[in-house]
Structure 1
Amino acid sequence: MVSKTFTLPTDWYGKRVLIEFDGVMANSQVWINGHLLGSRPSGYVSFQYELTPHLKAVAQSNVLAVKTDTTLQPASRWYAGAGIYRHVRLIATGPVRLAPWSTFVSASKITEQQATIRVQTGVVNSSDQKKDISVEITLVDPQGKSSATVACPAQTVDAGKTAEFQRDLVVITPIRWDINNPVLYTAQARVVSGGLPLDDEIVSFGIRECSFEPATGFWLNGRNVKIKGVCVHHDGGAFGAAVPLQVWRDRLTTLKELGANAIRTAHNAVAPEFLDLCDRMGMLVMNEFLDVWTVGKRKGDFHLYFNDWAMIDTRDTIRRDRNHPCVIVYSAGNEIHDTPKADLAKRILNSLIEIYHREDPTRPVTQGLFRPNQSRDYDNGLADMLDVVGQNYREGEILAAYRQNSKRKILGTENGHDLSVWLALRDHPEYAGQFIWSGIDYLGESRAWPAISTPFGIIDRTSGLRPRSYQRQSWWSDRPMVRIVRRIGKNEPSPIDPGYELRTDDRLKVTQFADWTPLNLQPHSETVECYSNCESVEVFLNGRSLGPLPKPANDSARVWKVEFEPGTIKAVASNAGKTVATDEHHTATKASKILLYVERKEITQSWDDILRVEAYVVDEKGVMVPTANNQIEFAISGPGVIAAVDNGDVLSHEPFHADTRSVYQGRCCIWIKANASKGRITLTARSDDLESDMMAFEISSGQL
């Protein structure tokens, strides 16, 4: 149990005071001054309680206490965290106020000339007498220009009752939210009674059209768009479950650069600011809330509470999330093990779909079906209850299900990395999209000790690119690109490269290396692969051409067998005979120094802001030494702290909260937080027998 003592500000006297939690892991109980306010078993849902009846007078101390219980383990397959790990806020308002998450803004009849915006909201009258109430609506466009304020028809609301208000407005020449132009409008709802403003709320929203069609897949603003998605869990690697928003900004930036345009929130409600970020960055979202229904996958998971809480949690989370333009589809569950009992599963699914459609009629519902041919979901009617039929893996099955019934809208809700998986999407217009497992390495579900996280991501825990990401980029990205890697076979009897120690589980073996520094520097055969979306790629070894290769019709890698020699290997990609992209690696010599690299050199004091600094071990010419495993010692001076360190190695058991970290494949990362509103932070990185490096950062007063 944790507690906090606080006193109310004097200007809060007479107000209604609420507390809102974005997520508490798990089985939380919240108390104020000894009074139990309520409990929530799920650690992922947001919730509110009113404190007012139990608060002490202004200037007297109040005690807020939160108890959590995560003793029943395992409670999930991945790392869930524990305690208060998301934001908490106190809200002060009057007795007449907007109901929590009741404001819903939707757009319809969208043309180039205009769009109809409907604003719906609920007002709670907590006073002891009836009130004549209206709600005034003001829209603000992306340039900050306000529309005229319009009022909803006034209503008389009895004491203790809630009333619903609605008003349609017209936006002239609307600017549409899009993955390439994620512009946001805002709507302000202001409660008015007796000419006085009593409460208000500002909600961001986007104007956009999207739909799933049986024969042609997904459409956004009149454009046929393939959903190129990734599944992500909620943890932030070295940060565990309490993740500063900048960590997600760095991760999503990397994924977008690879060509990803969508996120699946596997398999739970995410922090609300994560969806805010997807809104601002133009990432589509499959919003998934449930990993289990009544049949559990682990003894302590949500199946214990499903019957009592699933419908409530689903309702509340839809209300919280439905204004986000990034959300294009809801998922009612992931690989649900109730489906072998078709009658039970269909009853549950019907109840969930009713809630989704009632609370948000603007978005479809899917589900990550689990081996549907075994549970006969395509034959017993369960799959066709879904607005969009989703299936995990087994792409041939869902394509066959479409051929069986061409009215089905189909989507890959979880998919692998193989070339055949990509071709299923590329070559079938009816297949709306895929979400690969996974976008980012995550803690837990490591499959084989001593691994502590999965190696299945296209980026690792530190946002470092795995070589497999280059192939995905060659399929997803429209920008000309080429990347060159070495590949070894999984059947190698022993590791031929250091830092890539033999891993007994094939799923953990590293087989691709973005370098030209194998352990054996004597002549030997190397397999070189190039990933590119360009017409032609030519490889050069120390200036000698190894020959160009055209783009394969099946988008496979271009492969050269090369007799290794130290020096430089380079890939040159061209379109119509013109060079449009290059990539090269140099053979590293002896490790000589540390090189620090950072994308930006300013940081704010915000809890959600953080600087990621990469530390490389390089030779005297600045070439990264991929075989290095030096221990780097970090030191901070000035108003900053080391928040975390990591190197992305799934086998490393080094602590994340430390001032040292070994490098893995020549690299590690440190994250820095500011603990003052201004000043300069200096970072120094040292290691035995290596030249040190230093970098300075300024603390700014700007917004994250």
Structure 2
Amino acid sequence: MLQSIKNISFGLLLLSSVAAKAQTESARQTLLFDKDWAFIQSNATGAEKAVFDDSKWKKVNVPHDWSILGTVDHNTPSGRGGGFLPSGIGWYRKHFVLDAADAQKNVSIQFDGIMANSDVWINGYHLGKRPYGYISLNYDLTGHLNFGKGKINIIAVKADNSIQPASRYYTGAGIYRHVNLTITNPLHIQNWGLYITTPKVTADKATVHVQTTVVNDSKESKSFALKPQLIDAKGNTVSGKTELANHTLAAGKTLTIDEDIQVDKPELWDVENPVLYKAVYQVIVAGKVVDNQAVSFGIRQAQFDAQQGFLLNGKKVMIKGVCLHHDAGAVGAAVPLSVWERRLKLLKEVGVNGIRTSHNPVAPEFLDLCDRMGFLVMDENLDTWTAKKQHAENGYAQFFNDWWDKDTRDMVLRDRNHPSIVIYSVGNEIHDNLNDSTGFKKYRDLQNLVHQYDSSRPVTMALFRPAISKVYTNGLAAMMDVVGQNYRENELLAAHAAHPNWTVVGTENGHSLQAWLALRDHPFMAGQFLWTGVDYLGEADWPNVVNGQGLFDRTGGWRPLTYQRQSWWATQPVVHIVRKQENAGVGPVVADWTPTDFDTYDDARVEVYSNCDEVELFLNGKSLGSKPKSADDSPRDWNVTYEKGTIKAIGKNKGQEVASEELKTAGEPAKVILSADKAKIANSWDDVSYVTATIVDANGVPCPIADRLVTFSAIGAGLVTATDNGSLANQESMISPSRHTFNGKCVALIKANAPSGKIVVKATVPGLESGSVTIDVK
């Protein structure tokens, strides 16, 4: 249990107590270590020492991305890659007390992400340095701790991303993911020491293979038994053992134990029904449980096939994927889990079933979410090897030779039990020379390393202009488990025609109709991953600070291309109306019926995106005719003489109406209305409600061209933590309670700050009627 202790001597105001109960000798303790850190956004000489005075530092909880809290500046060293947000050095220190009862235990700490070039100390002892900011770090604290009442321990962390430019896209800064402290007996299951695969799967029976690595950190040999238990989604035990084999493990040694467990009538994990099981493993000594670990897994069979593409449990599934970066707009890199859940639900609504983690390991809870929601994941490790990329000259390329193996190994060991992961990628658009022996060796070494720690999944990489790099003809592509290519879909189709035994996948693809047809019309294509699912910070030219190629803007706003993608990928009937923004087919496509200039707009070029057999279009109740679905999935189009009022599309299948949409002309802005995506939230860092402010006219019709300043406030059991809009050039402070609307909308992120109660969120706009919404805190 973690408790706050105050008013200790030496001015140490941030103290936590890890109180171990006597009866917990038999079980490991994993404690969330997020609260009560001291932080300073500068270099602090001597801050690694235990006697350092941090009493005047800022008090923060992690996850904490201090870069997103800064000011956008055209001259900042991070440049276009970092979204013109600040970089530098940040220090964190945490003071805590360990119970005397744990003095003979092993204690370790895991950081799921420190950005970047981190150094970690415990009580002045240097635990290690890690350049890569995306990898989970685990440090053994045993032997460097103080135990007992009043005996303080101090962990210090230095995060340094001051040497820029270090990335082509936004990284964040600081301890931006969760931290956990783990206390175990010296004899215990190794960190990431449970490895579960399902090598044989049928509807009647499945073989679950479990590999368990046990470590003995005590000073004497230990005899133990390993007790397995498999539990289904309903909490029922489906397999276990009554007779346990005894094992003997010498001091300081590890032992890996393999066993197969049969599960009758298994419930299979798939994208439609992502059923999860749990494996609970106990280490037993003299009848007492001295350690236990529980791991979720799915029973499923995934296969990439040269002729059928991708098969899940023997059934062909087209991977309809998107690439995602690790930031989430206003929250930067420190992303609450409910933010990811909201985004993944939106992507599911479009028909997306796959995620590529571009181009780095993600937070482990993100993968848990993909497991629960039924996404197929391409788990990717790196954006560069040794060749530098423009706008990232001081990035990972300078560390690759020393760290590629450890960083890749740790990603695989941590992630390999997730049923959502069906393939690994070991690089994105690598600029190293892949037409010589050194390039071959780098790829082979990476692929072999992945196979060493996870032999159950194939490996690919996102090839960059393979016709130029010669990888389709020099033998490199032939080494790949699955050949992946970014864009230029016809090149990949031609490569498969020349090598029909190759399995192929689009690792990064555009939103065009041509790209979609390359997947739709070729069964051997396993899938595609669109660039991107959601807009992301960085990789943008001033005055833009956001890359805007997403299906959704960073607030979750839909775009016309999102509506079109839904008409291609969704299984439910859909119909959406769009038009060219300016007269006579000029300008971008918009999804509204409110021109910017009524006097010059009379020739409306209208398109309808729909998967329905037939679509009929109406203007102010008058039919403009019906059109059938095109064989090549191109949109249906009408030339319409513009009239104010209502335009409506009705989609029909076999003559029956199955979907419809209407757009109305907006009048002058009259009020702001609020809607919350979650009416109830918990008092948890990972829970947040998105409140959307929409400017509407007197009849409640959204005003898409309204640009107004909205000021949010929260009364009661919560607060406004950030605001945002969908503009690519929005340079307003993310933590400001005020935000201009973009396309008539903006959002506020609301968190709870009390265990229960109500949060009344209000939005005011000068000259307009205010709006409010109430959120309950559970």
In the superposition, the TM-score normalised over structure 2's length comes to: 0.86
Name the counterpart of 2:749: 671
**Amino acid across the alignment from 1:28:** S
Alignment of 1:295-314 (within 5 A): 295-297=387-389, 298-314=392-408
**In the alignment, is residue 123 of structure 1 matched against residue 214 of structure 2?**
yes
CA contact (8 A) 2:239 2:262 kept: no
**In the alignment, is residue 184 of structure 1 matched against residue 262 of structure 2?**
no
Q: Distance between the aligned counterparts of 2:635 and 2:274, measured in 1?
A: 33
Q: Distance between the aligned counterparts of 1:310 and 1:123, measured in 2?
A: 26
CA drift at 1:134: 2.2
**In the alignment, is residue 162 of structure 1 matched against residue 254 of structure 2?**
yes
Match of 1:98 among 176, 180, 189: 189
Q: Secondary structure at the match of 1:53?
A: coil
Q: What is the RMSD computed on CA atoms of the aligned residues?
A: 1.4
CA drift at 1:622: 0.5
Q: Distance between the aligned counterparts of 1:697 and 1:142, measured in 2?
A: 31
| Distance change (3 Å), C-alpha of 1:567 and 1:490 | closer
Name the counterpart of 1:24: 114
**In the alignment, is residue 6 of structure 1 matched against residue 96 of structure 2?**
yes
Q: Distance between the aligned counterparts of 2:749 and 2:584, measured in 1?
A: 37
**Amino acid across the alignment from 2:727:** D
CA drift at 1:512: 1.6
**In the alignment, is residue 455 of structure 1 matched against residue 548 of structure 2?**
yes
Q: Distance between the aligned counterparts of 1:83 and 1:121, measured in 2?
A: 34
Name the counterpart of 2:88: none
Runs of 4+ aligned structure 1 residues displaced above 3 Å come to 488-492
CA contact (8 A) 2:462 2:484 kept: yes
**In the alignment, is residue 57 of structure 1 matched against residue 147 of structure 2?**
yes
CA contact (8 A) 2:99 2:147 kept: no
Name the counterpart of 2:371: 279
CA offsets per residue over residues 263-292 of structure 1, 9 Å max, x none? 000000000000000000001100001111
Name the counterpart of 2:424: 330
Q: Distance between the aligned counterparts of 1:491 and 1:433, measured in 2?
A: 37
Q: Secondary structure at the match of 2:228?
A: strand
Q: Secondary structure at the match of 1:451?
A: coil
CA contact (8 A) 1:592 1:619 kept: yes
Which blocks of at least 5 consecutive residues in structure 2 are unaligned?
A: 1-90
CA contact (8 A) 1:152 1:167 kept: no
Name the counterpart of 1:41: 131
Q: Secondary structure at the match of 2:455?
A: coil
Name the counterpart of 1:76: 167
Q: Secondary structure at the match of 1:569?
A: strand
Q: Secondary structure at the match of 1:348?
A: helix
CA contact (8 A) 2:328 2:554 kept: yes
Q: Distance between the aligned counterparts of 2:248 and 2:583, measured in 1?
A: 73
CA offsets per residue over residues 163-215 of structure 1, 9 Å max, x none? 11122111110000010001100001111122221111100000011111111
Q: Distance between the aligned counterparts of 2:550 and 2:248, measured in 1?
A: 55
**Amino acid across the alignment from 1:419:** L
CA contact (8 A) 1:339 1:377 kept: no
CA offsets per residue over residues 366-395 of structure 1, 9 Å max, x none? 110011111110111111111110000010
Match of 1:660 among 738, 749, 753: 738
Q: Secondary structure at the match of 1:208?
A: coil
**In the alignment, is residue 245 of structure 1 matched against residue 356 of structure 2?**
no
**In the alignment, is residue 609 of structure 1 matched against residue 701 of structure 2?**
no
Of 652-661 and 408-417, more deviation after overlay is shown by 652-661
Q: Distance between the aligned counterparts of 1:489 and 1:116, measured in 2?
A: 61
Name the counterpart of 2:179: 88
**Amino acid across the alignment from 2:360:** N
**In the alignment, is residue 520 of structure 1 matched against residue 603 of structure 2?**
no
Q: Secondary structure at the match of 2:722?
A: strand
CA contact (8 A) 2:435 2:474 kept: no
Name the counterpart of 2:205: 114
CA offsets per residue over residues 559-583 of structure 1, 9 Å max, x none? 1111111000001110111111001
**Amino acid across the alignment from 1:303:** A
Match of 1:147 among 235, 238, 259: 238
Q: Secondary structure at the match of 1:690?
A: coil
CA drift at 1:302: 0.8
Q: Distance between the aligned counterparts of 2:518 and 2:727, measured in 1?
A: 32
Name the counterpart of 2:291: 199
CA contact (8 A) 1:415 1:434 kept: yes
CA offsets per residue over residues 115-143 of structure 1, 9 Å max, x none? 01111111110000011122111000111
Match of 1:221 among 308, 313, 337: 313
Q: Distance between the aligned counterparts of 2:319 and 2:114, measured in 1?
A: 32
CA drift at 1:57: 2.5
CA contact (8 A) 1:152 1:166 kept: no
CA contact (8 A) 2:239 2:263 kept: no
Question: How many aligned positions are there?
Answer: 683
Q: Distance between the aligned counterparts of 1:577 and 1:663, measured in 2?
A: 41
**In the alignment, is residue 690 of structure 1 matched against residue 768 of structure 2?**
yes
CA contact (8 A) 2:583 2:604 kept: no
| Distance change (3 Å), C-alpha of 1:576 and 1:491 | closer
Q: Secondary structure at the match of 1:147?
A: strand
CA drift at 1:342: 2.5
**Amino acid across the alignment from 1:684:** K
Match of 1:471 among 564, 567, 575: 564
Name the counterpart of 2:228: 137
Match of 2:464 among 358, 366, 370: 370
CA offsets per residue over residues 19-74 of structure 1, 9 Å max, x none? 01101111111001100001111000012111121111322011100011101111
**Amino acid across the alignment from 2:486:** N
Name the counterpart of 2:516: 422
**In the alignment, is residue 404 of structure 1 matched against residue 494 of structure 2?**
no
Match of 1:649 among 724, 727, 746: 727
CA drift at 1:340: 4.0
Match of 2:538 among 444, 447, 450: 444
**Amino acid across the alignment from 1:278:** C
CA drift at 1:546: 1.0
Name the counterpart of 1:357: 451
Alignment of 1:250-265 (within 5 A): 250-265=342-357
CA offsets per residue over residues 519-568 of structure 1, 9 Å max, x none? 12245111111000011111111011111111111101111111111000
**In the alignment, is residue 232 of structure 1 matched against residue 324 of structure 2?**
yes
**Amino acid across the alignment from 1:458:** L
Match of 2:639 among 561, 583, 587: 561
Q: Secondary structure at the match of 1:413?
A: strand
**Amino acid across the alignment from 1:541:** L
Q: Secondary structure at the match of 2:330?
A: helix
CA contact (8 A) 2:435 2:471 kept: no
Name the counterpart of 2:26: none
Q: Secondary structure at the match of 2:771?
A: strand
Name the counterpart of 1:621: 699
Name the counterpart of 2:30: none
CA drift at 1:147: 3.2
Name the counterpart of 1:413: 507
**Amino acid across the alignment from 2:755:** S
CA contact (8 A) 1:391 1:398 kept: yes
Q: Secondary structure at the match of 1:691?
A: coil
CA drift at 1:335: 0.5
Q: Distance between the aligned counterparts of 1:302 and 1:396, measured in 2?
A: 31
**Amino acid across the alignment from 1:607:** W
CA contact (8 A) 2:676 2:773 kept: no
CA drift at 1:600: 2.6
Q: Distance between the aligned counterparts of 1:160 and 1:340, measured in 2?
A: 42
Which blocks of at least 5 consecutive residues in structure 1 are unaligned?
A: 497-509
CA contact (8 A) 1:521 1:564 kept: no
